Structure 1
Amino acid sequence: MSKLDGNERWKSKMLLTEHQEQYEQRRADGAKVPASRPTEAEMIMIRDYILLPYMLSMVEKSLDDMEHRANLLKPLYLMAGKVVRSRISEDLYLLRRELARRNIRVFRDEQEEMVVYHRFVCRGYEDRLGLVRDVVRAEISVRLTRYLKEMAARLTAGG
């Protein structure tokens, strides 16, 4: 029990506004959430965040190649490529927003032989994620197939 307990004079606010703000700021800083490891779902989001830009550049390169070729079905291929590109861009945008909402940042770190490393910070927890290039290629192939199947399902359902 302090000497001020029971003294009614100390119950009223006697702090200046700026002192009150400083006090509240110190309490907020001291009550920070400890660094926490990402969940499995968040690790998948980080992996997807790394893969989607590669997929996007592959689709754009394919579209550029198709532009310069003569093919009877060229308009169809270009339209399909543009739909896939916009779908990947949309997914990347949504993923960026979700990662920002969860306070997760991803940075390209380095590339050693066949492994590409990315550094990530998840709510104060910092680590590296390494992806083997062959695994990246396989995952991109699976993802592109999924996007194309989605598009084919829409075409068959609509027609």
Structure 2
Amino acid sequence: MSKLDGNERWKSKMLMTEHVQHYEQKQGEEVRKMITVEERTMVRDLILLPYMETMVSKSLKEIEFSGSILKRAFGIAGQAIQERIMQDTYRLQKELKQHNIRVLADEQEEFLVYYKIFCRGYQERFGLTRDVMRTEISLRLTKYTAELGAVLKEYLKS
């Protein structure tokens, strides 16, 4: 931001074309450095995926020690979902690295979890409430389960 921004006196003054172009170019560069909505969604997903992987791992251990007749089928399904979560984590890490974005855990409060996002020279603090995390994790696990169910149905049809 220059010293002249916000100074009403300079609005009526004539500017040379190259100065205007330089100013607009600088403003465009600043906007490109900021994190986009799509990138923010990728960051959120990257934050949630390790929690999901932990939940699926715990469920797999519970299934392993259960006396259920279908424990083998549940275990295979759980492992397939766990593998998909790991693939998505790897893909998101790779994409964010290409976009020059890093995510680091910052701090945890009672109901909030904060992360630091380093995006193309800027630093931002990103927070998620535990309720939002639970909801998003539930939605994502439902999506993974539905995808697995669709694959199984397709297999049974053939």
> What TM-score range do you get, normalising by the shorter chain?
0.7 to 0.9
What are the within-5 Å matches in structure 2 for residues 82-101 of structure 1?
82-101=79-98
Correspondent of 1:125 among 122, 126, 129: 122
- Cα deviation, residue 125, structure 1: 1.1
3-state SS of paired residue (2:66) = coil
Equivalent positions of 1:73-84 (< 5 A) are 73-84=70-81
Q: Which amino acid aligns with 1:84?
A: I
Aligned to 1:42: 39
Q: After the TM superposition, which segments of 4 or more aligned residues of structure 1 sit over 2 Å from their partners?
A: none
Q: Name structure 1 gaps, 5 residues minimum.
A: 1-32
Q: Which residue of 1 aligns with 2:17?
A: none
The offset of 1:36, in angstroms, is: 1.3
Give matches, 1:1-150, under 5 Å: 36-150=33-147
Q: Could you tell me the TM-score, scaled by structure 2's length? A: 0.78
Give RMSD over aligned pairs.
1.1
Q: How many residues align?
A: 127
| SS in structure 1 of the partner of residue 126 of structure 2 | strand
Identity, in percent, stands at: 47
TM-score of the two chains, using structure 1 as the length reference: 0.78
Q: Radius of gyration: which is bigger?
A: 1
Encode CA deviations 1:54-99: one digit per residue, 9 max, x unaligned.
0000000110111111100100100000000000000000110011
